[in-house]
Amino acid sequence: MKEGAQRTHTATTPRYDVFHTDCPARDVIDHVTSRWGVWVLISLRDTDLRFYELRDSIRGVSEKMLTQTLRALVQDGLVRREVEPTTPPQVTYGLTEFGREIGEPLTDLFDRVTQRLSTAP
């Protein structure tokens, strides 16, 4: 492999070097840990939501930022987007299996922080 390559091959699965700037896994991690990515994954942990329901559940996010975040998470395979052919179209977002796997530790972190803060003096 030449210098600067981001993937290390093994016999079974490729291993990525997330510290390399060109690593595809790094992009997914950046999207998940972005300011709004975490909140989208936590908001969708229990149920599918329509765009405005999702926006209302994440206070402070603009429509533009929510749209950009959702596009990235859909492209990464973490969130699925379902469009119902109605007028106007109804768009619903939910977690994929991969999104649930990634969202579990985030939900645990969120639950631990909120539980700790609720018991603090």
User: Domain tally for the chain?
Assistant: 1
> CA-CA distance, 66 to 28, in Å (whole number)?
16
Whether the predicted model's global pTM rises above the 0.85 cut: no
Residue 24 lies in a domain: no
The residue range of the domain holding 50 is: 33-116
Residue 20 lies in a domain: no
Residue 1 lies in a domain: no
Q: What is the pLDDT of residue 24?
A: 81
Those residues with Cβ within 8 angstroms of residue 110's Cβ, 6 or more apart along the chain or in another chain: 42
What is the rounded average pLDDT of the residues 41-59?
95
Those residues with Cβ within 8 angstroms of residue 43's Cβ, 6 or more apart along the chain or in another chain: 49, 54, 57, 58
Residue 37 lies in a domain: yes
Identify the CA nearest to 103 among candidates 23, 46, 48: 46
With pLDDT > 90 as the criterion, what percentage of the chain qualifies?
56
Residue 13 lies in a domain: no
Residue 18 lies in a domain: no
What is the rounded average pLDDT of the residues 10-21?
67
Q: What is the CATH number of the domain that holds 45?
A: 1.10.10.10
Residue 11 lies in a domain: no
Residue 81 lies in a domain: yes
